[in-house]
Amino acid sequence: MRSFIRLTAATSVALLSAMAAYGQDQNPLPKASDVLARYGNDVEGWTVYANQTRGDCLIVRSDGPSSVQMGVTANQEVGYLGVFTKEDIGLQNGNQSQIFVSIAGHLYSGVATSTSGELKGGYSGGYILTDDPNFKRDVAKQYKMTVFPETKGTFDIDLKGTFKAMAMGRKCLTQ
């Protein structure tokens, strides 16, 4: 239990520094009004989109009732990982809670906010802002991420192909 508390404290500090660098009130996720265009061919189940409204890029993968989205903030200094599911994870409309993801035994945290009515397809979830190179490395090199917000839901995300999809996303950002 102590190691979990220490991990939680460490990830909270990392999250706060990334959020301070970006600004807590800015949501990095594309808005429903943003114009997204496919960039290249899908990569191992991942789709890369160029956000023509904001001038950035993101990668998306849906797997059953779950979906993951990765990109960078508007200033491209901080990355984000959005995790979403159609399953009931106990988020109340408009409420925020911490969300934790475990990748290869490493714990990372972020903020989950109910997104009812904001996301297409009935998804809810949240995102993690980070500038931690270990987080990016784990996401790129591992094959499974377990998402367990401090709610009743736990779900797994398949990370297969993230290394190649992230490389294509970086290429998209340079154009």
Give 27-59 as a DSSP string: --SPPTTS-EEE-SS-BTTBEEEEETTTTEEEE
| Cβ atoms of 35 and 56 closer than 8 Å | no
pTM listed for this prediction: 0.78
Label residues 57-89 b or e (16+ Cβ within 10 Å = b). Answer: bbbbbbeeebbbbbbbbeeeebbbbbbbbbbeb
Per-residue confidence of the chain (175 residues) as pLDDT tens digits?
444 433 333 433 343 334 334 444 477 888 888 999 999 999 999 999 999 998 999 999 998 888 899 998 877 888 999 888 888 776 666 667 788 889 998 998 887 755 554 566 777 778 888 889 999 999 999 999 998 756 667 888 899 999 999 999 999 999 8
Domain 2-26+63-161 has CATH 2.10.25: no
Q: Give the SS3 label for residue 92.
A: coil
- The domain locations on the chain are 2-26+63-161
